[in-house]
Amino acid sequence: MCCGDSCRPLAFLLGLPFALLSLMVSLVGIIIWIVGLTLSCICPCCLCVTVMIELALELIKAPIHVMQWFTDQIPC
């Protein structure tokens, strides 16, 4: 039986492959963000570009969300 946060490293190790996969998704998010920023400079009135930039920012934050979710799943 675990006490305190002693099982948290186990959750980190289990979540590491998924975090690496989400890191690749994050790189796609960076590309979408750069394209969206350039499109918003060309035509700032487009609402869809703003939504695309917000989606890209969430994709960039994906590895952090994945690791937090995995560490929260260990019931220690």
CA 69 → CA 2, 29, 51, 73, distances in Å?
A: 19, 20, 25, 6
- The percentage of residues in the chain with a pLDDT greater than 70, rounded to a whole number, is 86
Say yes or no to pLDDT of 1 above 50: no
Q: Where are the domains of the chain?
A: 35-76
- CA–CA distance, 68 with 48 (Å, rounded to integer): 30
pLDDT tens for residues 12-46? 777 778 778 888 888 888 888 888 888 888 877 77
Q: What average pLDDT does range 45-66 have in this prediction?
A: 81
Alpha helix stretches (DSSP H) within the chain: 8-42, 47-60, 62-73
